[in-house]
Structure 1
Amino acid sequence: MNSAGRFLVALAVGVSLAWGANATAQPNDAVPHAHEEIMLKGGRTMIYDQNVAVTLRDGHVVYANVFRPKQPGTYPVVMAQGPYGKDATFQEAYASGWAQLLKANPEICAQSSCRFIRWEHTDPERWVGDGYVVIALDVRGSGYSPGYLDLVSAREARDFYDAIEWAGNQPWSNGKVGLLGISYMAINQWQVAALQPPHLAAMIPWEGASDLYREALFHGGIESNLFLQLWFKGQILPNQNGNAHTAYKDPGTGLPPTGPALSDDLLKANRASLVDSAHEHPLLDGYNQERNAVLSRIRTPFLSAGNLSAAGLHGRGNYEGFVRASSKEKWLFLHTGTHDDSFYSDEGIALQHKFFDHYLKGTDNKWEKTPAVSLVERDPARATWTTRTEQAWPLARTRYVSYHLDAKDHLLSTEPPKADASVTFDAGKTAALFDLSFDRTMEFTGPLAAHLWVGSSTTDADLFVTLQLFDDKGREVTFLGASDAASPLAQGWLRASRRKLVVERSKPYQPWYAFDEIQKLTPGQLYPVDVEIWPTSIIVHPGYKLTLRIEGADFQRPVSDPAANGFGKRGSGVFLHDDPVDRPQAEFAGVTTVASGAAHDSFLVLPMIPRGE
């Protein structure tokens, strides 16, 4: 095609996209297509079809890469749709992540060429040889899929529904579709499963929020701005359909994997920004409600894989999905490490295969006898951690113990202090600390909460609550996590003016906020507030100390070399809350008071697990 022809194609596509959500796009000759037979390391042959057109209910077309066995027959489907580029290689588009993954799993390419691994997608070569079809789909408005980019929206969930039904009706499909992927590709599993597509037979949401407002956009009602900004600019915009300036390359063509080029004006007009919408919709209104999965409508069998060290995005959703979904067949798998280490490990892939073999192939592998919950025992005193099984979450034998704050002596105790006292801190500068020492080995596993009496010198206050653990030598116990290489034990957040509870849904160990109105503070007056702290699991030993840290800004450790460490060992990773629009100095740089004592009993609820039971 000559330059004039390319211009006309780009112009035609651009005009179609500019019409917005109701516009449709038909199969495009400018989108590259490939058909290739590939010999797998196991000796079987895989057929790779690039950019297969999938027509949605409104006539719009999105594009999928399909990997399937060469041998004729019908096979179960494992699929995912995402905005990160099904044709942008993990190795080049996410080089640092790839290096970290290889370090954790040096044998990752022993059974695969790793040619088709994409960020947070599964490796098709690890599935096709075992009789599966694997599909990777660019969401509308990303990669080669034209259209208006509206991330994690209701329409995007409906698109996913249509793609699942398309896959379930293909001649190479046995009619059973499973969903598999990390983070974004887990979030949209919760969303689409609530729509109940008939061909959806099972799913494995791996570390993905099931309540976007509470778990990604607004932690405790405080805007999580830094992550949104970095994510949108660094991962979403480079792969927006029509972005000719992307550094991503299609390994087959060497060209941008984003379709015909669009002007900057059209690119901006063809996308919704979650960063902008956070400013426009700070409460849990209809806009935000539409993006939250209706978990009670989920009936699909699933394996929810959550990270015990993932405050900020990759933890709470998997717990809540497991607890609140109506599926009768559901499992919770709790691991540690980065958000993709276990996903791509041999053990993780074996777990995924066993689950899907049962539900998508009908294999009698006794999966149904698998205990409902498995979790890593995080014991700092042991060099190697083991995994144990449980029958419920929260654990059935949990005893919730209240540890009362003593503001005078800065301690936590099972007995409330008799005298009233208070401690203050300058928001963003200092913190209130309360210590709890242990004289015996104990375990705490499950959700937890802080019930506090607080006041402010201004009309509002943000509370950042962190649990730190120190061993018998005074060294902090930290964890390699999904967002930070030195994650603390647990974290929670609350904006005081968003303290309104949904009483019927709240529990002593897990408050549930309405987030539907703003209740300002009267300066100098004390108010009871309940701070949800995301679930954790830990075994402590004699001489260990737990510190409850309450402050008015994000928990961040000082690092000796910020350029070398970046956010990696600060403690909160990229999940920071420092947007001056959301947190104006006049309201959020005041003096905060934490009270304790008989009249203002503040306490921390910990999920104690009896030893030996």
Structure 2
Amino acid sequence: MKTYMPSEPLRPGDRYGVLSGYEPGTRTLPAGFQVAPPFRPTPVDIVFERDVPVVLRDGVTIHVDLFRPVGTEPVPVIVAWSPYGKGQGTSTSVMGIFGLVGLSNDVVSGLEKFEGPDPAYWCAQGYAICNPDIRGVGESGGDSVLWDRQEGRDCYDLVEWLAERDWCSGKVGMSGTSYLAVAQWLTAAEQPPHLAAINPWEGVSDVYRDLVLRGGMPDTGFARQLRDHSFWGNAGKEDIVAEAEQHPLMDELWEEKIPDFDRITVPAYVVASYSNTLHTAGTFRAWRRMASPEKWLRIHNTQEWPDYYDEANREDLRRFFDHYLREVDNGWEDTFPVRYSVLDLQGGDRVDVPAVSFPPPEAVATSYFLDGRTRTLVREKPREDTASYDIGANPDVVSFVTRFDEETTLAGYPKAVLHVEAQGADDMDLFVLVQKLDAHGTPLQQFTVPNQGAMIQDVTERGASILRYKGSDGRLRVSLRHLDEKLSTGDVPAHTFDRVEKLSPGEIVTVEIDLLPVGLAFHPGDQLRLVISGRSLLGPMMPRLREYEPANSGRHVIHTGGEHASYLQLPVLG
């Protein structure tokens, strides 16, 4: 059973944009129209239909804004599905986010939804854009839900409604980042007949594993932010934070928030990164599991907002949509299935490295064993030993280091297999991080956004992990270590999260922890450090979020070597 709480109407404030009010009607925005001074003028005349009602299958009415080129020729339409207000592109909150990451507001027209396609650009290319206020948002009816199969059914109805408009060619696509990406998995799994292509640009694909209970830990800081600041309407909204408290294990509530990947068969251009601690695991999971025979993956080296609005990347996306929504013979089908990046963290990143798969076929899963005596990572199993830390002590981490003597590239999925013991407790919250160190042992990091000024230095010092890349991380509550045999692979362990198995005094258990995928270059002399701790090593994913406090006590013991040979598995390119 879902839990709901009262919503509040969207009123003038930091999330209220120029076009946020409810004003049904149609007008033409002439070429050169500028919605507000900081934003880019429109390059062509655009028909703007505002607050158009759409009736869903259960009788609920939602409202959409439509932008389309002037003319009589039918055009395809791209949907930007999210709870973010359809007029929020000019709000001070969105402008502030652009400023935070170092994007100029004139890269967009302000007509776009936050994290969505810009009507000014796409209408000039012969496309229409649909910005809906989804169920329960704005003046749309019903109670809102958060990343749920209900959204897929609702968007199915919108896709089919759009395909019937006399100005529509019958081809519908979807695009956008974050929430707008998640909606695409959910919609494509419902298989609306007129959905011709999707473009999920980084987004979770499992609300339990990616958002509210990653690793089985109730880390709900961003879920609270979503609940409290993204769903404004006249009815109720789903209380995802209360649900995380009431449903700590995987059950039907959370299953309804996982798309049926086997039913995603539509052509897909998926964009991912290694650095988004909210989106990375979910994006790669969805790309791996979706059934579409026509799917492409591009892994970039920055953050999703600068990447999404980059002119070259937008042109690349247009080639994809031109091929599937406009039936242009432009050779898109010859694009490599995978284009990945390799981070250097010292200014030498490689991007758009072509491959037929990810990990690339030449990547070899290689075990580096933890040596508790020397605190190194070694290729042969060492003698049995331990490393440990006390909760609340200083230091409260243990780490293991290896040095590379020759050029080495990692590309794929790391994982940690650890033999652990809890002393003075019956459970453990474990956090794992893989860092790159230079030849002198200095940890290397890299900003993912253009802004690298003093303020961004401050907010990323102990958090805002999506803005500064510090390495590949993973986490697991040890009592929830049971592996899902159907979902696990040799590279990526997956846990059922449906049972609690507490530890007994003196018991040593084996845990497998998935880490975020990597593309990382090491030069001769560079080092890799594996860090294990009972506290979060990266902090919250965004500024001002509540930091998770682990439920730990006593001492954590990591057993190494002999019969308890803990190891780090790395994808090393051969």
Superposed CA deviations along residues 272-291 of structure 1, whole A, max 9, x for unmatched, are: 21111111111110000010
Which residues in structure 2 correspond to 1:57-456 (within 5 Å)?
57-100=57-100, 103-104=102-103, 106=104, 109=106, 114-233=109-228, 235-236=229-230, 239-242=231-234, 270-311=236-277, 313-383=278-348, 385-417=350-382, 419-429=383-393, 430-456=396-422
Could you tell me which amino acid in structure 2 is paired with residue 359 of structure 1?
Y
RMSD: 2.3
Displacement, 1:394?
A: 2.0
Distance 1:474 1:494 in 2: 27
Q: Which runs of 4+ in 1 moved over 6 A?
A: 566-569
Displacement, 1:69?
A: 1.0
Displacement, 1:38?
A: 1.3
Q: Is the 8 A contact 1:89 1:116 kept in 2?
A: yes
Matched, 1:33 2:28: no
The secondary structure found in structure 2 opposite 1:476 is coil
Q: 1:87 to 1:439 in 2, by over 3 A?
A: same
Could you tell me which amino acid in structure 1 is paired with residue 31 of structure 2?
L
Moved more, 82-91 or 434-443: 82-91
Distance 1:302 1:314 in 2: 17
Q: Is the 8 A contact 1:221 1:498 kept in 2?
A: yes
Could you tell me which amino acid in structure 1 is paired with residue 509 of structure 2?
Y
What residue in structure 2 maps to residue 560 of structure 1? none
Superposed CA deviations along residues 442-488 of structure 1, whole A, max 9, x for unmatched, are: 00011111000001021110110011111124332113248533222
The secondary structure found in structure 2 opposite 1:388 is strand
The secondary structure found in structure 2 opposite 1:547 is strand
What residue in structure 2 maps to residue 493 of structure 1? 475
Q: 1:348 to 1:541 in 2, by over 3 A?
A: same
Q: 1:377 to 1:70 in 2, by over 3 A?
A: same
Superposed CA deviations along residues 342-373 of structure 1, whole A, max 9, x for unmatched, are: 10110121111111000000001100000000
The secondary structure found in structure 1 opposite 2:71 is coil
User: Unpaired segments of 5 or more residues in structure 1?
Assistant: 1-14, 18-29, 243-266, 558-565
Q: 1:284 to 1:395 in 2, by over 3 A?
A: same
Superposed CA deviations along residues 107-140 of structure 1, whole A, max 9, x for unmatched, are: x636x6x131331111111101111110011111
What residue in structure 2 maps to residue 4 of structure 1? none
Distance 2:117 2:372 in 1: 50
Q: 2:527 aligns with which of 542, 545, 548?
A: 545
Displacement, 1:91?
A: 4.5
Matched, 1:512 2:509: no
Could you tell me which amino acid in structure 1 is paired with residue 154 of structure 2?
D
Q: Is the 8 A contact 1:300 1:327 kept in 2?
A: yes
Could you tell me which amino acid in structure 1 is paired with residue 262 of structure 2?
S
TM-score by length of 2: 0.88
Q: 1:497 to 1:126 in 2, by over 3 A?
A: same
What residue in structure 1 maps to residue 17 of structure 2? none
User: Unpaired segments of 5 or more residues in structure 2?
Assistant: 1-5, 9-20, 33-41, 450-463
Displacement, 1:576?
A: 4.5
Distance 2:541 2:192 in 1: 40
Moved more, 49-58 or 495-504: 495-504
Distance 1:520 1:284 in 2: 17
Displacement, 1:384?
A: 5.7
What residue in structure 1 maps to residue 444 of structure 2? 477
Q: Is the 8 A contact 2:175 2:198 kept in 1?
A: yes
Displacement, 1:589?
A: 2.2
Superposed CA deviations along residues 44-81 of structure 1, whole A, max 9, x for unmatched, are: 31101111111100111001000011111211110121
Displacement, 1:339?
A: 2.2
Displacement, 1:567?
A: 7.0
Q: 1:81 to 1:567 in 2, by over 3 A?
A: closer
What residue in structure 1 maps to residue 13 of structure 2? none
Q: 1:152 to 1:164 in 2, by over 3 A?
A: same
The secondary structure found in structure 1 opposite 2:562 is coil
Q: How many residues align?
A: 531
Q: Percent identity?
A: 30
Could you tell me which amino acid in structure 2 is paired with residue 353 of structure 1?
R
Superposed CA deviations along residues 372-419 of structure 1, whole A, max 9, x for unmatched, are: 0011221234446432111112211111100000011111011110x2
Q: Is the 8 A contact 1:449 1:508 kept in 2?
A: no
Q: Is the 8 A contact 1:451 1:531 kept in 2?
A: yes
Q: Is the 8 A contact 1:310 1:481 kept in 2?
A: no
Superposed CA deviations along residues 132-156 of structure 1, whole A, max 9, x for unmatched, are: 1100111111123232122112222
Q: Is the 8 A contact 1:40 1:129 kept in 2?
A: no
